[in-house]
Structure 1
Amino acid sequence: MRDAAVPEHASAAGRPREVLRLPSFAFFWSATTIRAFGSAVSGVAFQVLIVTVLHATPVEISIFSALGVAPYVFLGLIVGALMDRWRRQLTLVVTSVGRALALASITILLLVNALNFWSLAIVTVVLGVLVLFADSASQPLLPRIVPRDSLVMANARLGQSSTVAGTAGPALGGALLNLLGAPILFLSDAVITGFSAVLQSRIRIKEPKPAPRTDGRHIGHDIAEGMRYTYRHRMLRPLALSVHTWFLANSIVSTIYAVFVLRELGLPAWAYGVTLAFGAVGGFLGALIAPRIGARLGAGWGIFVGRALIVVPWLSLAIVPIDAASGIVVLLTLVSAAQFVYGLSMGIEDANDTGYRQAIAPDALQGRMNSTIRTVNRVIFLLGALLAGLLATCLGYRLTIGIGAVIFAAAALIVIVSPLRTARHSDTSESAA
């Protein structure tokens, strides 16, 4: 029997329909997309402020980076548990309004010449906490908006727009920063974020009230229950272990990629940007074909294809004998091709991974299941980034990238040797438990 919170507009014959035709998802997708563009645009201005206005030291820059992730590490499990008891749609609306006010405060601080390290650090923490609440609400809310057999397509649509925003946003942000200046740019992002709150408020869903806690039970019990469910589930356990392993590998290669390309291979900055653009194109195409792969091969094999494919680009960068003397054409071709396959693999596996775990978890545990996986991922990413610096210093860039490729292979191996390989998107929480 399906979870009671599953929407009633499932398509005939169990076939997923185009999710953008569902009004509630159209509002959800539109709000998410414009927020992604706004964040990508203002992200450029944020970096410029830190470097050129505040003249931040390397230590201060690293502190800003850590402040953006810290809420996930310290509050992720708590917020995830709250999302199984709070109204998720209302949380999205409130956090969007809060983010709009926080972004507008940067404009005010700039105009009154009061922006400094501490004031911007406070805004960064506030934004980080609000983004944590928004992320923790949006993932468990999605299964209430679309039928569960359409979750892969819904995540693919979100992935496509996110990729486009991540590609076009920084370039647009740089142009608008020169044209409008930082105060107007942050104010514009605040307005965009406020408009996203309006779109989120138009989502029409029914959110059932959670069962009251029994005497003596508190939020710690809720968190423990979510962790037990995630790591004892015969499908979610290997999925979680695989994605944790993937995050370790990705933190290693992504941490040293820029310095490897710019310093070791000697590519100019514009060429580095071109390689990232190829990665974005690959990500868009991967998200485009992800639903078809998942429907034809099943969720498990769809995840495996993405996990296995990602080994190829990083292994090639580790073993192909190229250096700064190879010529820019050869270097740009190889590195761009590697980034394209990297993006393609992520587009394929992300929609199938996220869609499957949203489909099989009961509604009452969606927030805790997602927050458990996401919080551990963030902790592993931080540790992996530190490990990457140590490995690169001791072993060099190529061997470090090779180690990342081996860890990526281990993530794929977990899928193929576990029951997860048999997973299908038609699974329910009852049949997969």
Structure 2
Amino acid sequence: MCGWDQPSGAHGVPTTLDSVSGERPPGAATATTPPREILRHPAFAYFWGATTIRAFGGAIAGVAFQVLVVTVVNATPMQISVLSALGVVPYLFLGLIVGALMDRWRRQRTLVLTTIGRALTLAAIPVLLLLDALDFRSLAAVVLVLGVLTLFGDSASQPLLPRIVPQRSLVMANARLGQSQTVAETTGPALGGALFTLVGAPTLFAFDAVINLIAAGLQARIRVDEPKPRPRPAGRHVGHDIADGIRYTYRHPTLRPLALSVHVWFLGNSIVTTVFAVFVLRQLALPTWAYGVALAIGGAGGFVGAMIAPRVGSGLGAGRAILLGRVLVAVPWLVLALAPLTADSGVAAILGVVATAQFLYCLAMGIEDTNDISYRQSVAPDAIQGRMNSTIRTVNRVVFLFGALLAGPLMTLLGFQLTIGIGAGVFVVAALVIALSPLRDARHEGAPD
């Protein structure tokens, strides 16, 4: 246990869990274990490789998907909204249940099977295209199935990582994952656009399906010691497991403020991201090419944030590193809310402000995401990792959906910049939740004091 103040013992939480213990995954490092480059751990190297190539494949094929929705399916605005919602719906209805199952199932096996399932589902798209059978209904079915498989995969992936990575290396592991994700999201769409022009949508989706099969092969090679699935005691059902996970998360002295802070953060993020593109492209009339440049610079900021996140977490402690990210993320949106920009300000001036804002925004996320996820993984016992993560993720998505719906009326009534200012204010509240809680002084588990 690291040097943060706990009011009530090892985890500070009275609980009735039948399956939660203080055990740590085999191979978890102690404070005296010397750290080493995390990619030298074979299990993590396979995990990172699978995650990275899937991220690139998804970013490349994502361009083809957007084109399909607009040109092949000719989706109406309402149908586009439905397709977007279908990606969130599985989390709303199944998130807590799947999280509970991940604390009783083999996570690696689940991860492999869901990746194979994604490959088969993606392979259905080129078949439908070649048969001229792709319409809104079939595409919606594909999106829904992919959403369910992604839910199972994410729910298995996060709690699996602490099983394959030494505990004090969790921050570095999440940083490496964040770096590759940022590179994929930054370069993938541009590459996808070029490949779409050269080879067409069917080939791109077939390529992504193959990528997922390769990823499943890498995931199958991960050597991990997982306990045998535990039978549920007589008289208990999955609802009891879900309730235990919720109680654990919101009674923990540091996980509670972390969860509440990230929920508030998601509300602010849903507002500003809903407004951002409309404000920049419509009101400021920034050219599309300049908008793409601003997003690319934002991707660079995310990469830098993930690069420095381990050092920031080690130097400041987990709580202060997360707090730094929460504070920093409000700054660019306050700037956009207050900057005297109009469409007549000139492309160079607008691009300079927007690109700087995106860089700071993504830099903050790179710092806080890595330290946030790593802290959660290091503090919670293995037997409740799935439920703790699914509780936080599910509430996040409910909040995001509410915020995205709220952004529309706010834009209509108050205008773009004032709505962005409200989002920035919500980010400030998220920071205050941490600043006024015991989480502020928390350090990463296994980190030197």
**Structures share fold, TM-score greater than 0.5:** yes
Residue equivalent to 1:426? 445
Q: For 1:110-189, what aligned pairs fall within 5 Å after superposition?
A: 110-189=129-208
Cα deviation for residue 215 of structure 1 reads 1.3
Residue 409 of structure 2: which of 390, 393, 400 is its match?
Answer: 390
Q: For 1:62-101, what aligned pairs fall within 5 Å after superposition?
A: 62-101=81-120
Cα deviation for residue 212 of structure 1 reads 2.8
Aligned residue for 2:443, secondary structure, equals coil
What code does the residue aligned with 1:183 have?
A: P
Residue equivalent to 1:282? 301
Residue 408 of structure 1: which of 427, 432, 447 is its match?
Answer: 427
Residue equivalent to 1:239? 258
Residue equivalent to 2:233? 214
Asked whether the 8 Å contact 1:84–1:367 carries over to 2, the reply is yes
Cα deviation for residue 8 of structure 1 reads 1.4
Residue equivalent to 1:193? 212
Asked whether the 8 Å contact 2:29–2:446 carries over to 1, the reply is no
Give me the whole-angstrom Cα distance separating, in 1, the residues matched to 2:113 and 2:230: 23
Residue equivalent to 1:26? 45
Give me the whole-angstrom Cα distance separating, in 2, the residues matched to 1:111 and 1:265: 41
Aligned residue for 2:83, secondary structure, equals helix
Give me the whole-angstrom Cα distance separating, in 1, the residues matched to 2:431 and 2:67: 38
Cα deviation for residue 323 of structure 1 reads 0.9
Give me the whole-angstrom Cα distance separating, in 2, the residues matched to 1:420 and 1:300: 5
**TM-score in terms of structure 2 length:** 0.94
2:418 is the alignment partner of 1:399: yes
Give me the whole-angstrom Cα distance separating, in 1, the residues matched to 2:30 and 2:296: 36
Greater shift in the superposed pair: 42-51 or 10-19:
10-19
Greater shift in the superposed pair: 419-428 or 275-284:
419-428
Cα deviation for residue 18 of structure 1 reads 1.4
Taking only aligned residues, the RMSD between alpha carbons, in angstroms, comes to 1.3
2:243 is the alignment partner of 1:224: yes
2:342 is the alignment partner of 1:342: no
2:267 is the alignment partner of 1:248: yes
Give me the whole-angstrom Cα distance separating, in 2, the residues matched to 1:197 and 1:5: 26
**TM-score in terms of structure 1 length:** 0.97
What code does the residue aligned with 1:145 have?
A: I
Count of matched residue pairs: 428
What are the ranges of 5 or more consecutive residues in structure 1 without an aligned counterpart? 429-433
Residue equivalent to 2:6? none
Residue 354 of structure 1: which of 373, 377, 381 is its match?
Answer: 373
What code does the residue aligned with 2:330 have?
A: V
Percent pairwise identity: 68
Residue 330 of structure 1: which of 343, 349, 366 is its match?
Answer: 349
Aligned residue for 1:283, secondary structure, equals helix
Residue equivalent to 1:311? 330
Cα deviation for residue 209 of structure 1 reads 2.1
Give me the whole-angstrom Cα distance separating, in 2, the residues matched to 1:375 and 1:387: 19
2:64 is the alignment partner of 1:39: no
Give a deviation string over 1:66-93, Cα, whole Å, max 9, x none.
0111101111000000000110000010
Give a deviation string over 1:187-239, Cα, whole Å, max 9, x none.
01000000000000000011002443221100000000000000000010000
Cα deviation for residue 320 of structure 1 reads 1.4
Give me the whole-angstrom Cα distance separating, in 2, the residues matched to 1:232 and 1:100: 39
Give me the whole-angstrom Cα distance separating, in 1, the residues matched to 2:371 and 2:365: 10
Give a deviation string over 1:247-283, Cα, whole Å, max 9, x none.
0000000011000000111101111111111110000
Give me the whole-angstrom Cα distance separating, in 1, the residues matched to 2:285 and 2:71: 25
What code does the residue aligned with 1:281 have?
A: A
Give a deviation string over 1:138-190, Cα, whole Å, max 9, x none.
00000001011111111110000000000011111111111111111100100
What code does the residue aligned with 1:415 have?
A: I
What are the ranges of 5 or more consecutive residues in structure 2 without an aligned counterpart? 2-20
Asked whether the 8 Å contact 1:7–1:146 carries over to 2, the reply is no
Aligned residue for 2:253, secondary structure, equals coil
Aligned residue for 2:378, secondary structure, equals helix
What code does the residue aligned with 2:55 have?
A: A
Asked whether the 8 Å contact 2:119–2:210 carries over to 1, the reply is yes
Residue equivalent to 2:310? 291
Runs of 4+ in 1 over 6 A off after TM superposition: none
Asked whether the 8 Å contact 1:102–1:127 carries over to 2, the reply is yes
Aligned residue for 1:352, secondary structure, equals helix
